[in-house]
């Protein structure tokens, strides 16, 4: 009986047919495999080159592959941070006719890393805490759309740098379930308990391997997800009651959620029969408040904390430098072309895989603050960028895709020339020290 390969794909890519599906995944050659750090997994996972882009290939059963493929599609439509599905490959057989496991193919999330790759020697407590906070925020977002994960862990998550913090993305959805009517408290608490147990085990595993800074309490780090999750969940869902004459509480609640990075899509407002008391409770909450504002103003699609940082810089630019008044869209365009883009374009091509542009810009601002503090005066942007490139960025490992060797050094005059060219494009009465 003849057996045929079955490919279910979210988009047409002829390159799928060129991959060696008749060969076990652990035997794929270097001409196909891409060297990338990966987290722990119960299945064999390898990264491959598909038509010039990097994809993750996971061997599993046909049923599990199709189920996870469908789940990732549903989560993507709900705008939840997760990896993008690419295809399910089933009916695999060796040239001799022996059956091979099915494969789930997902797109590699650019500039993301598994938690083990986010440190070189040892894991510091502050880094661990930021990872746990990011995972807690992801879990809250998943729970608000009715997704029960079932296997919450650092290993099943990818992290992207987000202006000093991290943004977490779901990687493994094979145990997940979507509930249209939302989750019960018991389901949410189960996910939290699983998260706490798994995180404690993962941190202890690092400790056993000598990769945990001395004095770090693995259990205390794991407990952090409980407090972080509950604090954010309460801010998003708790009912608030106040006197009818204190309607400002409504505006205050909205602002509080905006500051946390959320928008209220729908709110329940009720008054008591005698009209003396009002209660409010968010019903529909959407994450990405600052992301959406920055995207609308500039077209930049970045992480939430990066968006908040860039918007703050834009607001400072409007207050100190811009001559376009209060027209937010015009100011945003001026800031983008005179501040953000010149800094990003000054980064040499061979270093642009180190970090994504928004993170580079954030770090340049941080670097400038430290340099200015050390000197007791403002430092020109050209000098800041040159210093950042040579003293910081050049020594980082690439995080876009391939974790290659350090790039070769580039002479400082090239960088200075790049910034000087940018300076020449500006109005002669604009001081670059005021632009970022």
Write down the domain spans for the chain: 6-108, 113-237, 240-287, 306-434
Determine the 3-state secondary structure of 227 from DSSP. Answer: helix
pLDDT value of position 423: 39
Determine the 3-state secondary structure of 404 from DSSP. Answer: coil
Torsion of CA 43, 46, 47, 49, to 10 degrees: -120
pLDDT value of position 280: 87
pTM equals 0.81
Contact 123, 209 (CB under 8 A): no
Tell the burial category of 388 from Cβ atoms under 10 Å away from its Cβ (0-12, 13-18, 19+).
Answer: buried
Note the CATH architecture for domain 6-108.
Answer: 2-Layer Sandwich (3.30)
Q: Mind giving me the DSSP string for 298-361?
A: H-----HHHHHHHHHHHHHHHHHT--STT-HHHHHHHHIIIIIHHHHHTS-GGGTTSS-HHHHH
**What are the residues facing 102 on neighbouring strands?**
60
H/E element, 57: strand 53-60
Of 154, 137, 143, 225, residue with least CA distance to 177: 143
H/E element, 101: none
* CATH class of this structure's domain 113-237: mainly alpha
Per-residue pLDDT tens listing for the chain (436 residues):
456 889 999 887 889 999 999 999 999 988 888 876 665 667 889 999 998 889 999 999 999 999 999 999 999 999 999 999 999 999 999 999 999 999 999 999 988 888 888 765 566 778 888 999 999 999 999 999 999 999 999 999 999 999 888 999 999 999 999 999 999 999 999 999 999 999 999 988 888 877 777 667 889 999 999 999 999 999 999 999 988 888 888 888 888 899 888 888 888 988 888 878 889 888 888 889 999 999 999 999 999 999 999 999 998 888 887 665 668 888 899 999 999 999 999 999 989 888 899 999 999 999 999 999 998 888 888 899 999 999 999 888 777 654 433 333 333 333 333 343 333 333 333 333 334 3
Tell the burial category of 133 from Cβ atoms under 10 Å away from its Cβ (0-12, 13-18, 19+).
Answer: buried
pLDDT value of position 324: 59
Of 368, 369, 370, residue with least CA distance to 382: 368
């Amino acid at each position: 009986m003849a057996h045929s390969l079955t490919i279910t794909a979210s988009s047409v890519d002829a390159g799928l047919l060129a991959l060696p599906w008749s060969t076990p995944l652990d035997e794929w050659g270097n001409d196909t495999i891409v060297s990338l750090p990966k987290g722990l997994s119960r299945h064999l996972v390898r990264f491959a080159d598909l038509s010039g882009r990097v994809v993750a290939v996971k061997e599993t059963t046909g049923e599990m592959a199709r189920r996870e493929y469908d789940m990732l599609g549903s989560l993507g439509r709900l705008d939840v941070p997760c990896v993008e599905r690419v295809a399910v490959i089933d009916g695999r057989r060796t040239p001799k006719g022996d059956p091979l496991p099915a494969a789930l193919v997902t797109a590699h999330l650019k500039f993301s890393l598994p938690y083990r790759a986010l440190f070189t020697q040892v894991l510091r407590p502050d880094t661990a805490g930021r990872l746990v906070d990011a995972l807690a925020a992801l879990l809250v977002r998943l729970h608000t759309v009715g997704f029960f994960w079932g296997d919450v862990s650092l290993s099943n998550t990818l992290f992207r740098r987000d202006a000093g913090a991290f943004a977490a993305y779901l990687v493994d959805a094979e145990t997940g379930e979507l509930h249209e009517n939302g989750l019960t408290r018991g389901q949410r608490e189960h996910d939290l308990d699983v998260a706490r147990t798994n995180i404690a085990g993962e941190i202890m595993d690092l400790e056993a391997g000598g990769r945990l800074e001395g004095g770090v309490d693995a259990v205390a780090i794991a407990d952090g997800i409980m407090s972080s999750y509950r604090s954010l969940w309460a801010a998003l869902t708790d009912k608030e009651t106040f006197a009818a004459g204190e309607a400002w509480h409504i505006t205050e609640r909205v602002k509080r959620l905006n500051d946390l990075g959320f928008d209220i899509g729908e709110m329940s407002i009720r008054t008591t029969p005698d009209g003396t008391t009002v209660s409010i409770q968010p019903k529909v909450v959407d994450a990405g408040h600052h992301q959406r504002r920055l995207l609308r103003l500039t077209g930049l699609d970045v992480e939430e904390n990066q968006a908040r940082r860039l918007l703050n810089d834009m607001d400072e630019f409007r207050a100190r430098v811009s001559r376009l008044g209060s027209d937010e869209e015009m100011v945003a365009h001026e800031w983008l072309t005179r501040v953000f883009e010149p800094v990003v374009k000054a980064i040499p091509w061979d270093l642009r895989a180190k970090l994504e542009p928004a993170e580079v810009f954030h770090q340049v601002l941080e670097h400038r603050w430290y340099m200015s503090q050390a000197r007791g005066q403002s430092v020109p942007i050209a000098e800041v960028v040159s210093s950042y490139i040579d003293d910081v960025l050049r020594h980082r490992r690439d995080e876009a895709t391939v974790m290659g060797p350090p790039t070769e050094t580039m002479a400082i005059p090239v960088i200075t020339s790049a910034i000087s060219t940018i300076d020449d494009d500006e109005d002669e009465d604009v001081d670059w020290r005021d632009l970022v």
